[in-house]
Amino acid sequence: MAAALDIGISDFLLLSRKAISWIYRDHRYDAMSRLYSPQQAAELLVGRRKALGLSQAEVAARLGISQNRLSELETRPERLTFDRLLALAGVLGLELALGERKPVEAEGEW
């Protein structure tokens, strides 16, 4: 079993394509990011697109939408439909996984 990889979303966004490929292949579930807002999803998706060296126009063409529409979705991620999110994740070599949310532990009394 591979050792756990401690990496935050900001670190993930700075990785090269080769590093992302290595992490995905060897630490697939260790490097998963938990998302709690549409903005976090946008940051991850834009960072991944840039790390892969893809322009908005290239990704938009693969999705069958205009570059302007992709730009809007990256800046206003709350407008992403679920099917469009799945398609975009697929183009970027990502997958979506749902799991049970871990309960927030009390950090003491207020």
CATH topology for 9-91 is: 434 Repressor (Amino-terminal Domain) (1.10.260)
pLDDT tens track, the chain, 110 positions:
444 555 566 565 565 555 555 555 544 444 678 888 999 999 999 999 999 999 999 999 999 999 999 999 999 999 999 999 999 999 999 988 888 877 766 555 55
Sequence spans of domains, the chain: 9-91
- Can you tell me whether residue 107 is helix, strand or coil? coil
DSSP 13-38: HT--HHHHHHHHHHSTTTTPPP--SH
pLDDT at 31 (0 to 100)? 61
pLDDT at 29 (0 to 100)? 43
CA distance 5 to 27: 7
pLDDT at 19 (0 to 100)? 57
